[in-house]
A and B are shown apart, each in its own frame.
Chain A
């Protein structure tokens, strides 16, 4: 193999969004900067593999945010580029991607991954390479203290806080006897453990926990395990078989009596809610990280963000109403890029020599007000946990539309923790 091609991946550099067009000459705004050398960010992208449906929208959101950042003068007056590296949604490839971005492409920092096994495998490598690693992964792994000083999550609330925030509303409005259906691996186990705990704290009870084996494609045979006295059915199924899950649930209950249903939108990200077979979900409730469908009280920042990414009022791509986005999660990419901008500007970023200063600057974040940088809403950053805490939304499916019925407060999601990354070394 030609050594030249390995060392100079020219094609990848071209993926650097609109940055190529943004030279200092054409955009005088950059002139005042001490250096017009572009800031290069690496993006660990689930382009292929099981995360590809998310990856496609994460890339689109990142490019939209990049455009906004660059048009407003970049970061500290310098233009920004993003280099995307596919990790095939695989932990080993993820770790390799971090190395490639850090050592070969020489990016300033890395952000973007969602799937928790990729994050957990790659985080130790980021720490060894001493490069900031900003993840957009809602799992409970940053805040649990499993990772390291270089790994931060300023863009999305972790799952423990999500379920803790939601449990009171669920037990007060839907019912106190809950049956949980979740995938039998770490993501599902986080839901199982923390939601059960949160429901108990509200005086409710999880009457059954039904763990579905990974790779299962048919679910009907598990439904008889749902106890008859179940008042709320809580589901967090993910992956391509989710539609089957919902359809089969509908066939199982038919038009007869059924429990209230509460699900995580993770089940239906990138899925058109108007799909045949999903009518059964009518009247059921969902957690949403951000409301997929445009709400009447949407903020100016939200509509700005929606337009910039190119998403219509139903949460689908403007150019193709059948191409539904991962709206409940992808704001994290946008907000993480703006957190990077904020952190870099706070530490007067010059180059890779300031990577530690950058982490310390992010660790100085506390209140993160709503605005165009944070279209999902205001957040609070907890430096000890390296984790941000935001509002959560509960929507009801009415007439094929997801309508917001509740927004949790920032305090709802706070849980006790003795994790302290600030006490760990770089």
Chain B
């Protein structure tokens, strides 16, 4: 109960933030919420189920392109196209999962990486439709969900918040459910889980599909919110980023993804304002952080007392 209250308080805080933040940080917060949703999706596979994928950009960009192409070239209504995003993420994850989950550990990392790389190359290759590396912009009409215009800052924040809140509460419900405990059991000891009568393959596939679904939803929302769909979101960098966010915040924690995403975002923002050698500062801080909290910030908190943190 106390934990539920904590998470609701965080959500309330995030919701209230929009009224006090100046314009620049207001937009940043909206970005962070959507990217944190992506991180939550990644965390379900990686943090809770132990599936270290290096190919999540496939699901994020897959959702972004599904929505973007349908609304831009398919003539779909924006809300319908928006729903196609998570669907695409989920379907792609199911497809990848059916093949990739035959492997584990480093082989799983490579297989997921390869599928994502193939997708990235395909986006460049079929540039006539996808715009290749340049991508394409979405018109104002493509970004209006009924009466809600995603180009409007307050609406955009609201949409980002709703997406994030749904993802976070969904994640919280999942990890406290029986299914969630099976996922964690698979992470801890797959053989034992099998002997207890569960099917680890099914559990892992479920985790990956949920993960892909959230990633696709985040990608689709991001595209509509900022009016741009581009190949760089399918590049390997966008598979590595959620890993960094989740590890910084604390893998296998519900709030870790938000914390990690916000932390890295503002770390880069701050570093580039104090020095032109900003990557140096970012690198050094990452190393210091990991020396100080090898299991992420919330992982540290969990070790230092807050054991019940989900």
Touch A–B, Cβ below 8 Å: yes
B121 touches A120 (CB 8 A): no
Residues of A with C-beta under 8 A to B228: 91, 95, 120-121, 124
Looking at A103, A125, A146, the one whose CB has the most chain B CB atoms below 10 A away is: A103
Q: Which of A5, A103, A104, A124 contacts B270 (CB 8 A)?
A: A5
A100 touches B134 (CB 8 A): no
Contact with B along A128-143 (1 / 0, CB 8 A): 1000000000010100
Bound complex: CA A141 to CA B233 (Å):
19
With known contacts A95-B226, A124-B226, A213-B121, A116–B27 Cβ distance under 8 A? no
Bound complex: CA A124 to CA B68 (Å):
14
B193 interfacial contact with A, CB 8 Å = no
Residues of A with C-beta under 8 A to B24: 99-100, 103-104
A117 interfacial contact with B, CB 8 Å = yes
B157 to chain A, nearest CB (A): 13
Bound complex: CA A48 to CA B283 (Å):
14
B interface residues with partner A (beta carbon < 8 Å):
22-25, 27-28, 31, 121, 124-125, 127-128, 131-138, 151, 226-228, 230-233, 237, 266, 269-270, 272-276, 278-279
Within 8 A of B (CB), among A177-220: 184-187, 189, 213-214
A277 to chain B, nearest CB (A): 28
Provide 22 A-B residue pairs closer than 8 Å at the C-beta atoms, listed in order of the A residue.
A5-B274, A6-B25, A7-B22, A85-B272, A95-B228, A96-B28, A99-B27, A99-B28, A117-B232, A120-B136, A120-B137, A120-B230, A121-B226, A125-B226, A141-B134, A146-B137, A184-B125, A185-B124, A185-B133, A186-B131, A186-B133, A214-B124
Q: Which of B151, B232, B266 contacts A91 (CB 8 A)?
A: B232
A147 touches B137 (CB 8 A): yes
A86 interfacial contact with B, CB 8 Å = yes
Bound complex: CA A214 to CA B27 (Å):
33
A57 to chain B, nearest CB (A): 15
Bound complex: CA A48 to CA B269 (Å):
14
A146 touches B31 (CB 8 A): no
- Give the size category of A's interface with B: 35 or more
Bound complex: CA A96 to CA B273 (Å):
13
Counting from the closest, the 7 A-B pairs by CB-CB distance are A124-B227, A9-B273, A104-B24, A186-B134, A103-B24, A103-B23, A186-B132
Within 8 A of B (CB), among A86-140: 86, 90-92, 95-96, 99-100, 103-104, 116-117, 120-121, 123-125, 128, 139
Bound complex: CA A141 to CA B121 (Å):
22
B273 touches A121 (CB 8 A): no
Bound complex: CA A148 to CA B228 (Å):
13
Interface of A is mostly: helix
Bound complex: CA A103 to CA B28 (Å):
11
Residues of A with C-beta under 8 A to B151: 128
Cross-chain pair count, CB within 8 angstroms: 108
Residues of B with C-beta under 8 A to A90: 232, 237
A108 to chain B, nearest CB (A): 16
B276 touches A189 (CB 8 A): no
A397 to chain B, nearest CB (A): 30
Bound complex: CA A139 to CA B131 (Å):
13
Residues of A with C-beta under 8 A to B272: 85-86
A423 to chain B, nearest CB (A): 14
Contact with B along A34-76 (1 / 0, CB 8 A): 0000000000000110000000000000000000000000000
B275 touches A6 (CB 8 A): no
Q: Which of B22, B31, B278 contacts A48 (CB 8 A)?
A: B278
B270 touches A6 (CB 8 A): yes
Contact with B along A2-35 (1 / 0, CB 8 A): 0001110101100000000000000000000000
A257 interfacial contact with B, CB 8 Å = no
Q: Which of A7, A12, A120, A128 contacts B134 (CB 8 A)?
A: A120
Looking at A96, A139, A141, the one whose CB has the most chain B CB atoms below 10 A away is: A96
Bound complex: CA A90 to CA B276 (Å):
16
A11 touches B135 (CB 8 A): no
Q: Which of B133, B232, B275 contacts A11 (CB 8 A)?
A: B275
Closest chain A residue, CB of each to CB of B151: A128
Residues of A with C-beta under 8 A to B124: 184-185, 213-214
A11 touches B137 (CB 8 A): no
Bound complex: CA A124 to CA B276 (Å):
27
